[in-house]
Structure 1
Amino acid sequence: MNNNLLKAFENPHISKILNEVLDKFDKQAKRANKISFVLNDKNFLALYFPTEFNEDIDLEFDIKVLLDNDIFELKNASKKDEFLPLVEKRNAKLIFKNEKEDLLREIYKRPKLKSQKQLWSEELKNYFKENSRLFEILEKSPFFIEKKTNKEVLEKLKVWVETRDKTKLQRHESAKCFWGMSKIFDNKTDFCEYFDLKEKPVLLQVFGKSVSASKILFIENLETFTSCIESKNKIFDECILINAHGYKATAKRLRVKDGSKLFFNNGCKLNKETKDDFISWFYSNQNDKEVYFWGDLDFEGISILEKLQRNFTSLKAFIPAYDLMIKEALDGNSHFCEDTNKQNQKLVTSTLCKYTNDELIPFLKEKKLFLDQEFVDIGSI
C-alpha cells in the first residue's frame, strides 16, 4: 500500500466516514444499494472550513487519493464542474466501492461480525446431531424469538423434541414448546412435516335450504350468511350455503378431511343422502357441481373468489347478487377505498369466471366504487 493511501486512511475525517461504511455493512451484509456520501459541509466539514481545524491535513488531497485508488467513485458531478475543486462540485457524491470492504476491515482492524444465522448454526451443534435431517431443517430455518437467546430457544426446543406425548396440532405444540407462544411453528413447513404437525382445521358453517339442494354458494360474511338462512327468497332454495369466513375458505387444506370441519346448522334441511353426497364430493377432487361465491364488491372480495377457484375450479360469481350490488353502487350507495381501511387492497386482473372478468373487474377498475355485502336486501336479489 502506498504512503499516500495509508495517510488518507489515517485522516481522522476520512476515518470517521469509512468506519460509518463498516457500520452499515455490519448492519446489512448483503446490500442492495451502494453506500454513498454527499459532498457537503455536513459530511466533510473540514473540506469546506479548513481554517477551523488547526491540523496539518489536506482533506481534498486525501479524498482524491481514495478516488485514484478506487475506494470511492465520484458520481453526479456536472461535466462543466469537472476541473473545479471538490468543494465547488455541485450535487457530487462519493460512492463506496463494495469490493474494498475487506481492505477497510484490515486497515481499521474490524473483522466481519457473525450473522444471526451463523451464530444459530454454531449453537445448534450443541443440541442436535449434525448431518441429521432435523439438524438440516433447523439450520435452514432457525427459530429466532425476540428477547430470547439462541441458547434459551434451543434448550426449550430440545426438551420438546424429546417429549413423547405430542399431539398433531401445530399451535398446541408450539405453545407447549416455547413459553406458551402458539404461533412460533407457523410457516415452518419442513419442521412441521418432520413431526407430522397439522394446522388447525378450517371450520365451516353449512346450511341446506331444501331436502335435495345441490348448488353450492360460498358467502363471504357471517351476517349475510345468517340473513340468507333466514330469508324466504326462493333463489336460495336449491343452495347449500357455506360461510366462507373471508379468506379462511381459500386455505389449500380445505378439501382434505383433516384440513377442515363442516358444521351443519341444526335447522339444515338436507336429507341424509344429499348431505352424505355433499360431504363425499367436498372432500374429493371433483368439480362437477355448480359452485358460486358472493362477497363484498371490492378488490378483496374478487381476490377471495380467485383464491377459492384454486380449490373449486368450477366456481363462479353469484351473478344475481352482484348485478344488484353494481346497480346500488351506481345509485350512490357505495364508498371509495380511501373512505375506509381498504387502501392497500389490490385488484385481481383475471379469474376463471367470465362474468367476473367481463363485468366485476372492469367495473371496480374504472369506477373504484365499493359496496359491502351486508348492505344488500336479501329479498331483492
Structure 2
Amino acid sequence: MRATPTPPVWLEEPLIQRLLNVFVDKLERGVKLIIKVGAKTTPELYEFDEDVQYLWALVESLDKDCKLITIKKAKVKPFQEVYEGAQLRFIPEREEVLREWLNRPALDPYAVVWNSELEKVADSNPAKAVLAHNLIRLPEWGAEQTLRGLLAIGQTLQQPMTLRQLSARCFAGHSKVLDRHEDWVRLLYPDLAHRILPRPLLVTLHLPEHFSEVLFIENQDTFLELAAQPQSHFALVYSAGFALSAERTRTKGQVVFTYTQVSDEARAGFERFWFDAHASVPVWFWGDLDFAGMAILRSLRASFAQTQAWQPGYQPLLELLQNGEAHSATMAGKTAQVDPGTTGCHYADEQLLVAIRRHNGFVDQEAVRPLLGDCY
C-alpha cells in the first residue's frame, strides 16, 4: 500500500483548511467539486489587511505541489486580482490523501455528532434548516460546541454589537472565532445581520503642529522612537503591519484616530489629507527590509497611490544587507514570506527587492535609528 505523502506545514492556514473541508463536504453531499473564488467563498483573499498574495500562493500550491486541485483562472481586468473568479476543482482521485491530511475519514464522527445534536433543535428555529445543509467546522472545537455557539447568535444579536463582541458572547468568551466569518451570521440570520457594527481601523499617529509629508512606519518600537525625536515636518503613522492596507482605510466612519498631544487645527489638517484621495502631500513608508515589508508598501499604494519607500530609513538597512549583516528567512521564521514581484515604487523595485533576492537575506527596521529629515 502506497504511503500517504506528508502534508505541507502551511496546511493549518485557516483559508486552506476551510477550502479543503468544503471540498470534503461536497464529496459527502455528492455535489460538484468546484469552488469559485469570490468574496463569499474566499473572504481571506479580500481582506487586504492580510498578505493576500501569500494566501493565493498557498492555494496555487494545492495545484502545483500537492496535486489536490486544478485552477482555471478567469479573465480579469487590470485593476482586479489575478485570482478573481478563478475556479478551483478538486481531483476526486485524491480523496484518500485529502481525508487523511484533514483527519476526516469516510465515516465522519464530527458529522454524526453534528446531525445528532441538530435533531434536538426545535424546527421553529430559523437556523436549523440552513445548518442541516452547512456543516461548519472550527479548529479545536467539537461539533456540539460549534453548533451551540452558532445557535446562540440568534438570541444574542438582539442589539447592535461588533463581530468580536458577538463571538465572545456565543463562543465561551473567545472573541476571534467569527473573524472572517460574518458570512455565517448573514447566512443563518439574515434578518439580524444588520445589527453587526463595523469594527473601525484604529490608527495611531504623531503629528507636528504643521506637517508637509507623511511617513508610515511598520513597527511599534521604531514609531515610538521617531515620535520621541524633536518636532519635524513629518506626520508619523503607525501602520501596524498590513492593517492600513484595508480597502476601507480612507472611508469616513471606518477609521478612528488616536493622537499624541496635538492642536485641533493640526488634527483637522491631517484628517483633510487622509480622506482626500487627491491630496498632493508626499507619502512614505518605512518597514522591515524583507518581502513582507515590500508587500505592505505595495498594499498601501492601493489606498495611498503616491506612497514611496522612505530612503533615509531603508538605505542604512540596505547597506547592512549588502555588508552581510542580515538574517535568513529560516533564522527569523520568515520562510512563508512571498516575493511580491513589484511594488510600483522605483526605488523599492530597482534597489531594495533586487538586493533582497541577490543576498537572500532580510534586515528588520529596528536595526537602525535614522533621524527624521528630507528624503534623498
Q: TM-score range by the shorter chain?
A: 0.5 to 0.7
Following superposition, the deviation at residue 198 of structure 1 comes to 4.3
Residue identity opposite 2:200 in structure 1: P
Equivalent residue number for residue 149 of structure 1: 143
Residue in 2 that maps onto 1:219: 217
Secondary structure in structure 2 of the residue aligned to 1:293: strand
Deviation at 1:178, TM superposition (A): 1.7
Residue aligning to 2:236: 241
| Larger CA deviation: 273-282 vs 136-145 | 136-145
User: Which residue is 1:188 aligned to?
Assistant: 181
Question: How many equivalent pairs are there?
Answer: 273
Alpha-carbon shift at residue 357 of structure 1 (Å): 1.2
Distance across 1 between alignment mates of 2:223 and 2:185: 34
1:311 is displaced (CA, Å) by 2.1
Q: Deviations over 1:225-280 (max 9, x none)?
A: 12212224xxx7221101112222223333334433211112x4xx5334213214
Q: Deviations over 1:99-137 (max 9, x none)?
A: xx9xxxxxxxxxx74685697578658648799799558
Q: Say whether the 8 Å CA contact 2:203–2:257 is kept in structure 1.
A: yes
| Partner SS for 2:297 | helix
TM-score between the two structures when normalised by the length of structure 1: 0.60
Question: For structure 1, which segment, 240-249 or 252-261, has the greater mean C-alpha deviation from structure 2 after superposition?
Answer: 252-261
Name the CA distance, whole Å, in 2 between partners of 1:177 and 1:244: 31
- Contact 2:164–2:178, Cα closer than 8 Å, also in 1: yes
Is contact 1:219–1:241 with CA below 8 Å preserved after alignment? yes
Which one-letter code corresponds to 1:207 in the other structure? Answer: H
Give yes or no for contact 1:313–1:352 (8 Å, CA) kept in 2.
no
Contact 1:303 1:348 in 2 (8 A): yes
Q: 2 CA distance for matches of 1:138 and 1:295?
A: 47
Deviations 1:302-326, CA, capped at 9 Å, x for gaps: 1211122222222111122222321
Partner amino acid, structure 2, of 1:353? C
Whole-Å separation in 1 of the counterparts to 2:156 and 2:171: 13
**Distance in 1 between the 2:135 and 2:305 partners?**
34
Matches within 5 A, 1:148-297: 148-150=142-144, 152-163=145-156, 165-192=158-185, 194=190, 195-196=193-194, 197-198=196-197, 200-209=199-208, 211-232=209-230, 237-266=232-261, 268=262, 271-283=263-275, 285-286=277-278, 288-297=280-289
- Corresponding residue for 2:310? 318
Amino acid aligned to 2:212? S
C-alpha separation in 1, matches of 2:199 and 2:152 = 23
Contact residue 216 and residue 236 of structure 2 kept, 8 A? yes
Q: SS at the partner of 1:310?
A: helix
Q: In structure 1, what is the equivalent of residue 330 of structure 2?
A: 338
Larger radius of gyration: 1
Following superposition, which runs of at least 4 residues in structure 1 exceed 6 angstroms of deviation?
Answer: 128-134
* Aligned match of 2:365: 373
For 1:315 and 1:138, locate their aligned partners in 2 and report how far apart those are by CA, in whole Å.
49
Secondary structure at 1:333 match in 2? coil
Classify the secondary structure of the residue corresponding to 2:214: strand
Would you say the 8 A contact 2:232–2:372 is kept in 1? no
Which digits, 9 at most, give the CA deviation of each residue in 1:124-164, with x for residues without a partner? 586487997995588457254645334x5434433431346
Residue-by-residue CA offset, 1:198-235 (whole Å, 9 max, x unaligned): 464332211113x2203211001112112212224xxx
Pair 1:163–1:369, CA change in 2 (3 A) = closer
Corresponding residue for 2:340?
A: 348
CA gap 1:368/1:155 in 2 versus in 1, 3 angstroms: closer
Q: Residues 155 and 368 of structure 1: is their aligned pair in 2 closer, same or farther, counting only changes over 3 Å? A: closer
Taking the aligned partners of 2:358 and 2:340, their CA distance within structure 1 comes to 13
Question: Which amino acid in the other structure matches residue 215 of structure 1?
Answer: E
Any stretches of 5+ residues in structure 2 without a counterpart? 5-23, 29-91, 97-105
CA contact (8 A) 1:137 1:191 kept: no
Amino acid in structure 2 at the alignment position of 1:205: T
- Note the aligned Cα RMSD (angstroms): 3.8
Q: Which amino acid aligns with 1:259?
A: Q
Q: Percent of pairs identical after alignment?
A: 25
Contact 1:287–1:312 (CA under 8 A) maintained in structure 2: no
Counterpart position of 2:319: 327
* Secondary structure of the structure 2 residue equivalent to 1:300: helix
Kept in 2, the 8 Å contact 1:293–1:317? The answer is yes
Distance 1:251 1:122, change over 3 A: farther
Greater length-normalized contact order (CA 8 Å, ≥ 6 residues apart): 2
* Cα pair distance change 1:166/1:317, threshold 3 Å: same
Q: Secondary structure at the match of 2:303?
A: coil
Unmatched segments (≥5 aa) in structure 1: 1-16, 22-27, 32-96, 102-111
Secondary structure of 2:205's aligned partner: strand
Contact kept, 8 Å, 2:211 with 2:235, in 1: the verdict is yes
Secondary structure of 1:204's match?
Answer: strand
